[in-house]
Amino acid sequence: MENIKHHLKIINQFFEIEKKLAALNGAESAQRNVERIKSYFEEMGYQIHNPLGESYSETRTDCEASIAGASAENLYINEVIKPIVRYLQEGQPQIVQKGVVITRSR
Amino acid sequence: MTVNFGIDLGTTNSVIARYDQGVVEVFKNPIGHKETLPSVVAFRGGRIIVGDKAREYMEKDPRNVFGSFKRKMGTSESFWVESITDTKTPVELSALVLKELKNFIYTGEALDAAVVTIPASFDTVQSNATRQAGHDAGFTEVFLLQEPIAASLAYVNKTSQEQVDQQWLVYDLGGGTFDVALVKTEHGEMRILDHQGDNFLGGVDFDNLIIEKIIVPYLKTRASFGDLEKELRSSSGRYNNLYYILLKKAEEAKVNLSSQTSTDIEFEIETPEGQLLDIFFPITRDQFEMCIREKILETVAMIRAILERNGLTSQQLACILMVGGSTYIPLVRQLVELELGIPISTTVDPTTAVAVGAAYFAGTKKRSVVQQAPAIDVHRNLKVKSGYSKVTQDKEEYFLAQVEGDWKGLYYRIIRTDGGFDTGLREVTERFTEYLPLAANMNNNFELKIFDSQNSLVFQDNTINIVNGKYGIMGQPLPHDICIEVDDPENNATKLEIVFSKNSLLPLKKTLTKEISKTIRKGSDDGVIINVLEGNHTASPLSNLSIGIIEVKGKELTVDLVKGSDIEIVLEMSESRDLRITTYLMMSDQEFTNLFNPSVRHVSLGKLRDDLVMLQRALDEETRGAVEREDYELSQQLNDLRITAVTLTREIDRLPEDDVTDTKYQLEDKKKMVSSRFDELTKDKKKLRAKTEYFLTRKWSQRLLDEHGTEAEKKEFANLVSNEKKLMASDSALMIESVTKQIEKIASHIRWRTPEHIIRIYYHYASLDDEYTDPEKARKLKEKGDQALERKNYEELKVIINQLYSLLPPQEQKRVDIKGTGIV
């Protein structure tokens, strides 16, 4: 479990870098390294999921959400601070980090 | 029989703990694995949701989501719930929180009696209301305990204090509330003398202060944002989204500053002019402390008022017991101690202390009524038939359940076992439906549970499995393994590495990172070969069918490729089995891509020639062996194959590189036939050799493990040999050899820890005199080695062995007969 905690810290930093690269012009060449790091994490048993743009409701327990705006209906995820991370334990995925997200009404 | 369960039914958060033979365990939420459950209840879409999810909606849906109802306990006030057009009392809401806590008990024990804590300020009516909530939650017996007493019990049990008459303060600063109580022990009895509190003071206020006093002023120095505070806090404000991001960042900074003296805040903001600012600045602990100092002094003032009311001086108090998550903040501890001159105690876990103390109390409280409720109520004769598609490519699956038996007044709940979905509690009807969201490309396992009105389990189904994305209509399983050929320098040959296993479902994609096995000069004829083959991964590369090959020659390189540099290979196979190979050379930053259609064969003459050289060499070796064993029939068969291989090589040599006929395809087929026949003839012998080697290695490794192995090594070894039966029954000598090598690796690690082995190796190196490149240095090292041996310093001896080894002339490189693939 201690190892997973350390790995999650690295995954979150990696996720930040990925977001920043996506916003930069001319950073396409670094995308290869991003994909490679992702595949290394997958080999280690981690699945990293960015839920940006997905629908959100009270039944989603894979994210911790803050609801922006005035309405709490028909929500979607419009900002992701931390990604959802699953870890394969004995072949079964378990969420080891909930996504930290901001949601808004569509 | 004792009660054992203790519950902190808090204003903001609740916690459940259990006493068992002197030890208290705090239970965790099965979803999210947190010890605390927010005391918030939501009624949304026909569901009852308690905890984190409910809290998320509290601010934005106040007509259906309720928190802090504990403050209204024992009043006539009730809450109008718009979605169910009905009212709920604080007692009913508290009962829902207590029922939810039952789900935390992973042991499956029935919770029908508990100690529930109440604030020191609760009067009789409020206390009785709490007891009623416990009864409504299905507890036959409810014992109440004041929160400061509970925290004190946790403290006393942790410190194993002797019974002496004294008094102390319990300082409880949580996420949203503050309470302080004066506790006295007299003749072994503990009671509360006085208390005071503020229902709107806690950690959340500190987060807001970070935004208000540090972040906003900083932003104003970077650009003009107009009325930034309003734009942040207003739900229609331009920066309302950012406000919630900042709350998260502020909370993170607050936590970091409890252990560090500085932390960084990082986010992006767009100015009203549309310019994107990348904000990154440090916040120091000093800055944070300046913000919250005033709030903490307010708590100190309350304590002073208590002391004054009770005519006490600081010296008359033993300590201040710190409880509540916000007491992790160093300034809270320092300031309270400094201002009041009373030592503080941080012995107990501030978040769970109240529940832990309640559990200790529960461990001493005898049950008057013992009711053994069955784990599953069998009297209702419930039968649930469920309908859903077991395999889908959709993101969610329609789930239908039909219920037979006495289902009235029951509630169901469906949870995805990875922790990503929870329906909350919904009333059971004869037929009910849910859309179950699916995590992509995996098996999604769901649990359906049905509860009675007191949240006791009456039905459970753990077998709802829905696979997402795996079996598309267009998808098909691979008929053979797909492998990549890599060099095997140890055996001066090449070998196969599996990329996609037989029966994997298409489409497939995998990225491999390999190393260049030899330096390839720019402009040379040398190169690397990415050869993808289809067949059996345990067979020799020569027996498999090449389905895609990329050759990167030195002539195409922009710089030399140094041995050891990385090469990235992406293999993608579509549903119609087109193979795309993309190769990226890190050193030269060059990419090569090719799409191979299964209907088009690709044969490289150079590779074919190289394969045949390897085949001839293996045939030679095996023929010699057969002659030595006087197995003349086999040697004759092998020799015939060797002649065919030589003939094929000659034919290839005569063929121009750009030959347009189909001769090369015919030659490749013939080579495959020779190789398959060779595999067939020598298979049994190779297997026998591999098996013998395996059992020998296993035997001596086992002995070493028994004497010197660590638990981890023993476990690793046990894992390797656990499939021995299957391994021996397999047709693959290569697999047996691979396991043997892994066992050898473990044994080698162990041996290097044993003095006997180190001494033996040292003596071997010490006996070499003339071989060293620097004999004088070697002599001095041997002197040091002898001394280390005398002192029995084996770690030093190991270092000396390494140094001696480095003084030996480089070993003559094995002559590489084959070109190989250039990758390992």
pLDDT, mean of residues B688-708: 88
3-state secondary structure of B74: coil
Write the secondary structure of B590-605 as one string of H (helix), E (strand) and C (coil). Answer: EEEEEEECCCCCCCCH
User: pLDDT tens digit string along B302-340?
Assistant: 999 999 999 999 999 999 999 999 999 999 999 999 999
**For B249, which residue in chain A has the nearest alpha carbon?**
A81
Q: Which of B38-52, B348-362, B464-478, B633-647 has the lowest mean pLDDT?
A: B464-478
**For A75, which residue in chain B has the nearest alpha carbon?**
B57
Q: Which residue from A60, A72, A104 is facing B61, i.e. has the nearest CB?
A: A72
Q: Which pLDDT band holds residue B495 (cuts at 50, 70, 90)?
A: confident
Q: Which residues pair with B500 in a beta bridge?
A: B482
The answer to whether residues B16 and B5 touch, using CB atoms and an 8 Å cutoff, is yes
pLDDT, mean of residues B146-157: 90
Q: Which residue from A58, A61, A100 is facing B248, i.e. has the nearest CB?
A: A100
Q: Which pLDDT band holds residue B473 (cuts at 50, 70, 90)?
A: very low
The answer to whether residues B358 and B154 touch, using CB atoms and an 8 Å cutoff, is no
**For B42, which residue in chain A has the nearest alpha carbon?**
A58
What letters, b where the CB count within 10 A reaches 16 and e where it falls short, cover B10-38?
bbbbbbbbbbeeeebebbbbebbeebbbb
What residues 648-687 of chain B have any CB closer than 8 A to a CB of chain A?
Answer: none
Element (H, E) at B475: none
Q: Which residue from A93, A102, A104 is facing B439, i.e. has the nearest CB?
A: A93
User: pLDDT tens digit string along B336-372?
Assistant: 999 999 999 998 999 999 999 999 999 988 887 655 5
The answer to whether residues B151 and B321 touch, using CB atoms and an 8 Å cutoff, is yes
For β-strands B391-392 and B579-585, DSSP reports them as unpaired
User: Cα–Cα distance between B69 and B418 in angstroms, integer?
Assistant: 31
Q: Please report the pLDDT score of residue B439 as a whole number.
A: 87
Q: Which residues in chain B are closer than 8 Å to A94, comparing Cβ atoms? A: 418-419
pLDDT, mean of residues B627-652: 88
Q: Which residue from B54, B241, B247 is facing A104, i.e. has the nearest CB?
A: B241
* Chains A & B: contacts with CB separation below 8 Å: 104
pLDDT over 70, % of chain B:
94
Q: Which residue from A62, A65, A104 is facing B56, i.e. has the nearest CB?
A: A65
More reliable by pLDDT, A85 or B553: A85
**Residue from A58, A97, A100 to probe the interface with B (highest B Cβ count within 10 Å):** A58
Q: Do B240 and A68 touch (CB under 8 A)?
A: yes
**For A71, which residue in chain B has the nearest alpha carbon?**
B60
Q: State the smallest CA–CA distance between residue B610 and chain A in angstroms.
A: 32
pLDDT, mean of residues B200-208: 89
Q: Please report the pLDDT score of residue A90 as a whole number.
A: 66
A44 touches chain B (CB under 8 A): no
Q: Residue B60: is it exposed, middle or buried by C-beta count within 10 angstroms (0-12/13-18/19+)?
A: buried
Q: Please report the pLDDT score of residue B372 as a whole number.
A: 53
User: Cα–Cα distance between B740 and B689 in angstroms, integer?
Assistant: 12
What residues 33-52 of chain B have any CB closer than 8 A to a CB of chain A?
Answer: 42, 44-45, 47, 49, 52
Q: Do A94 and B57 touch (CB under 8 A)?
A: no
Q: Which residue from B54, B247, B266 is facing A66, i.e. has the nearest CB?
A: B247
Q: How many domains in chain A?
A: 1
ipTM field: 0.84
3-state DSSP: chain A helix, strand, coil percent, rounded to 5? Answer: 35, 35, 25
> Is the four-CA dihedral B364, B367, B371, B377 of positive or negative sign?
negative
Q: Which residues in chain B are closer than 8 Å to A81, comparing Cβ atoms? A: 245, 248
Q: Which residues in chain A are closer than 8 Å to B57, comparing Cβ atoms? A: 58, 67, 72
For B169, residues 6+ apart whose C-beta sits below 8 A from its C-beta are B180, B181, B182, B183, B303, B306, B317, B319, B320, B321, B342
Domains detected in chain B = 5-152+352-362 (3.30.420.40), 383-468 (2.60.40.10), 481-598 (2.60.34.10), 608-684 (no CATH), 755-806 (no CATH)
pLDDT, mean of residues B246-253: 91
pLDDT over 90, % of chain B:
35
pLDDT, mean of residues B259-272: 92
Residue B657, pLDDT above cutoff 80: no
What tokens appear for B181 in the block?
A: 């109580």
A52 touches chain B (CB under 8 A): no
Residue B575, pLDDT above cutoff 90: no
Q: Which residues in chain B are closer than 8 Å to A68, comparing Cβ atoms? A: 235, 240-241, 243-244
Q: Which pLDDT band holds residue A104 (cuts at 50, 70, 90)?
A: very high
CA atoms within 13 A on the CB side of B326: 25
Q: Please report the pLDDT score of residue B813 as a whole number.
A: 36
User: Cα–Cα distance between B817 and B614 in angstroms, integer?
Assistant: 8
User: Cα–Cα distance between B630 and B642 in angstroms, integer?
Assistant: 18
Q: Do B442 and A98 touch (CB under 8 A)?
A: no
Q: Please report the pLDDT score of residue B207 as a whole number.
A: 93
Residue B586, pLDDT above cutoff 60: yes
Residue B811, pLDDT above cutoff 60: no
Q: State the smallest CA–CA distance between residue A81 and chain B in angstroms.
A: 8
For B477, residues 6+ apart whose C-beta sits below 8 A from its C-beta are B502, B503, B504, B505, B506
3-state secondary structure of B711: helix
Q: Which residues in chain B are closer than 8 Å to A50, comparing Cβ atoms? A: none
User: pLDDT tens digit string along A81-99?
Assistant: 999 999 987 667 889 999 9
Write the secondary structure of B182-229 as one string of H (helix), E (strand) and C (coil). Answer: EEEEECCEEEEEEEEEECCCCHHHHHHHHHHHHHHHHHHHHCCCCCHH
For B723, residues 6+ apart whose C-beta sits below 8 A from its C-beta are none
Q: Please report the pLDDT score of residue B561 as a whole number.
A: 86
Q: Which pLDDT band holds residue B768 (cuts at 50, 70, 90)?
A: confident
Q: Do B568 and A94 touch (CB under 8 A)?
A: no
User: Which residues form the domain of A8?
Assistant: 2-105
